[in-house]
Amino acid sequence: MPILGIIASSRLTAAPTSYESISTVTVGSGGAANIEFTSIPATYSHLQIRGIVKSNDTADDRQPVKAIFNSDTGNNFSRHLLFGNGSSATYDDGTSTTSRLGASVISNFGSYANMFTAYIIDILDYADTNKYTTVKVLGGFNTNDATASNFSQIALGSFAWLNTAAITSIQLQPFNNNFVQYSQFALYGIKGS
Partner 1 sequence: MTATYEKIATTTLGSSQASIDFTSISGSYTDLVIIGSIKTATLTNPACYVRFNNDTGSNYSVTSLYGNGSSAGSTKFNSQTFIRYNYVTDPNTTNFAPVIMNINNYSNATTYKTALTKFGLASIGLDYTVGLWRSTSAINRVTFTLESATNFASGCIFTIYGIKAE
Q: Contact positions toward partner 1, by CB under 8 A?
A: 1-9, 11-13, 15-22, 24, 50-52, 82-89, 114-120, 138-146, 149, 152-156, 182, 184, 186, 188-189
153 with 90: CB under 8 angstroms? Answer: no
DSSP state of 166: P
Comparing CB distances to partner 1, the nearer of 76 and 136 is: 136
In the complex, least distance from residue 102 CB atom to partner 1, rounded to whole angstroms? 11
Comparing CB distances to partner 1, the nearer of 48 and 72 is: 48
Measure the CA angle with vertex 137, ends 27 and 109; round to 5°: 50
Comparing CB distances to partner 1, the nearer of 51 and 72 is: 51
Q: Classify 20 in phi/psi space as left (phi over 0), alpha (psi -120 to 50) or beta.
A: beta
| 185: β partners | 25, 51
Comparing CB distances to partner 1, the nearer of 8 and 192 is: 8
In the complex, least distance from residue 150 CB atom to partner 1, rounded to whole angstroms? 11
Burial 54-63 (b: 16+ CB within 10 A, else e): bbbbeeeebb
In the complex, least distance from residue 12 CB atom to partner 1, rounded to whole angstroms? 6
In the complex, least distance from residue 175 CB atom to partner 1, rounded to whole angstroms? 20
DSSP state of 14: P
Closest CA to 120 of 52, 22, 19, 36: 52
In the complex, least distance from residue 71 CB atom to partner 1, rounded to whole angstroms? 23
Comparing CB distances to partner 1, the nearer of 67 and 155 is: 155
